[in-house]
Amino acid sequence: MERHVGISQVTGNQSGYVLHRTIWSGSLFGPETDKSSPRIPLRKPRQPANVFFIYMKKVEPQIVRGDPGIGRKEIVSRAAAMWRELDPEEKAKIAMQRKQLYEKYKQEKKEYLENITPEQIREEEAKKQKKLAKKMKLTRRSLGMPSKPWPPFNCFLSEKFGEREDESVSTYFKILSDRWRILDESEKEKYKQISHDMKIQYLKDMDAWEGKMMEYGRYDVLRKSTLEGLKKKDKKEPKKKKKVRFADEVEEFS
């Protein structure tokens, strides 16, 4: 049971009354805690870096001091060269350090998984899916996936932004947004048609791109709708039975 105490300041006034003003109140034995509820880590533990990156983090300040304007790629390159020349005993020490960090990570992860709440599970899954989506977007872009068509408003912006003079980008964007809202529907038709034509071209380009990806065996970058279409197509097409020649049957039983 927690025991609370209060410290009061006693003051007097001209009427002779004594006033008590509380200036601190709290527990003698620290803050109250609900021991029945598990301790939930604030965030998911991160796996420690590999031995090379632990070493690079150690030598990076030394590399930067020698060449202040050095870029990230060159830092990694120089650290790799230093790592190759490093004494095996030093490498073993860093490997041991990494092992200790990994053991600590395993323990923290175990506690995290034991105490994680359903809400935290949903949050972690959402983060994971967001990360995977970002990675997929970068992969597709690197493989030359066509860009999505613009909506009519973006077509309008693209045409009118060249008319900007002294206004800032944000100010002119607001001006164009207001102009778009009051623009006559007949004038908007022009940009709707441009957007429609872009969409038709995008679909053609996507078909060609996905066909090329299938040739390369990169089914992992295809759209979900394309993969579902391929599955339905496979189900509809009956499997062809292998024809067995009479001569083959005679040979098998002879």
**Model confidence over 174-199: pLDDT tens digits?**
999 999 999 999 999 999 999 999 99
What are the tokens at 67? 């060449």
Choice between 120 and 27, residue whose per-residue pLDDT is larger: 120
Domain span at residue 177 reads: 152-235
Average pLDDT over residues 72-92: 94
Residue 28 has pLDDT above 50, yes or no: no
Co-location of 134 and 71 in the same domain: yes
Specify if 43 maps to a domain.
no
Specify if 224 maps to a domain.
yes
Specify if 60 maps to a domain.
yes
Q: What is the pLDDT confidence band of residue 240, given thresholds at 50, 70 and 90?
A: low
Specify if 22 maps to a domain.
yes
CB 176 within 8 A of CB 161: yes
Specify if 250 maps to a domain.
no
Co-location of 137 and 171 in the same domain: no
Residue 38 has pLDDT above 60, yes or no: no
Three-state secondary structure call for residue 23: strand
Co-location of 104 and 129 in the same domain: yes
Distance (Å, whole) CA 222 – CA 209 = 9
Which of 43, 33, 49, 32 is closest to 111 using CA atoms?
A: 43
Q: What is the pLDDT confidence band of residue 43, given thresholds at 50, 70 and 90?
A: confident
Co-location of 138 and 157 in the same domain: no
Specify if 38 maps to a domain.
no
pLDDT number for residue 208: 96
Work out the angle between the directed axes of helices 169-182 and 152-160 (0-180°, nearest 10): 130
pTM: 0.54
Specify if 251 maps to a domain.
no
Average pLDDT over residues 24-34: 46
Among residues 105, 124, 142, which one ends one of the domains? 142
Co-location of 23 and 92 in the same domain: no
Specify if 45 maps to a domain.
no
